Amino acid sequence: MSDILQHLDAGVMTLTFNRVDKKNSITRDMYSALADGVEQANTDPAVRVVVIQGHETIFSAGNDIADFLHQPPSGQDSPVFRFLRAIATVDKPVVAAVAGPAVGIGTTLLFHCDLVYAGDNAAFSMPFVNLGLCPEAASSLLAPRMFGYHRAAEALLLGEPFFAEAALEVGLVNRVVPPTEVNAHAQAQAKKLAGKPLSSLIETKRLMKGGQQAEVLARMAEEGQSFGRMLREPAAREAFSAFMEKRKPDFSKV
Ligand code: COA
C-alpha cells in the first residue's frame, strides 16, 4: 500500500497521507507522489477539485526527520520544492481536511489551499526555529499576512502549537468539526465545487491569488536557499539526532 493514496471520484482527486505508523511524516517519495498528483490534477480534464487529507488522529508530522538527516533536499528540483511549487500554482481549487497534529509543512501547505476544514483535535505548528531551521512554503510571507505580524511571530519564533479555534480565528481554517467528520465534510464541500463551472472556479481563483503568485514563488525560493543551508548546519543536525534518539536537543554549543 502506497504512503500517498490517490483516488478520483466524480471530478474530485483525493490525496491521502497513508503513513500513520510514522505519523504521516513525509518522505521524498511521498513528496514526489504529491507533486505528481497535483500536477496531474491540474492538467487532467477529469479532475475539477483536489482534496488533501490525513487520518482522524494525525494530518502530518511534517518532513520525515530521518530524510532530513540522511538525504536532505538539495536544489529547487528536489521533490519537496516540486510539490510546493505545484500546490502554490495549481489552477483548480484545493480543499484540505486536517485532524490531529499538522506539523511544519503539514501546516504551511495549508496557506496554499483554498478551503481548510479542521477537526476539533487539530494542532497546528511551525516549529522550524526549534529544529534550527527557518520557515518554508512562503510561510514567512503568508503567515504574517494572514495572522498579523505578532501572532505570526508567536507561531514562527516560538514554534508553539495553536489549536483549531485559534486557527479559525486567524482565518487559517474555514470551519471546525468533529475529527471523525472532517474528511467527509471536506469531500462534501469538494463535491459542491466539482458541480460548478470549472472555468469560473479557475478564473475566480486566478483573480484572487494571481497577483501574489510571483511574490510567493520568489519567497519560496529565498526560504529554500536558507533552509537547504541550515539543514546541514550544527543546530539542525543536533535537533534531528535528538529526535531520532528520543532525547531533548542540546543547543548550548550551536
Ligand atoms: N519524521 C520521522 N518520523 C517521525 C516523525 C517525523 N517527522 N514524526 C513522528 N515520527 C515517528 C516517530 O519517530 C515514531 O516512530 P517509532 O514508532 O519508530 O519510534 C512514530 O512516528 C510515532 O511518533 P511519536 O512521536 O511516538 O508520536 P506522538 O503521538 O507521541 O507525537 C507528534 C506525534 C507528531 C507530535 C511527534 O511525533 C512529533 O513532534 N514529530 C516530529 C514533528 C517535527 O518536528 N516535524 C518536522 C517539522 S519541519
* Cβ 172 vs Cβ 148: under 8 Å: no
Give the residue from 121, 112, 120, 117 showing the smallest Cα distance to 96: 117
Residues 229, 232, 234, 235, CA torsion sign: positive
Determine whether the shortest distance from the Cβ of 101 to ligand 1 is under 6 A.
Answer: yes
Name the band, by pLDDT with cuts 50, 70 and 90, for residue 254.
confident
Ligand 1 pocket member 104 (CB < 6 A): yes
Inter-residue contact 174 to 115 (CB < 8 Å): yes
Tell me the CA–centroid distance for residue 34 and ligand 1, in Å. Answer: 20
| Residue 102 near ligand 1, beta carbon < 6 Å | no
125 CA from centroid of ligand 1 (Å) = 13
Query: Which tens digits make up the pLDDT trace of 43-61?
Result: 999 999 999 999 999 999 9
What would the grid cell of residue 44 be?
A: 487532467
| CA 60 to centroid of ligand 1, rounded, Å | 9
pTM of the model as a whole = 0.98
Ligand 1 binding pocket mutation candidate from 25, 68, 70 (most atoms within 8 A of CB): 25
The pLDDT score that the predictor gives to residue 37 is: 98
Pairing of strands 12-17, 4-9: antiparallel
Residue 75, C-alpha cell as written in the block: 536544489
The tens digit of pLDDT for each residue in 182-230 reads 999 999 999 999 999 999 999 999 999 989 999 999 999 999 999 999 9
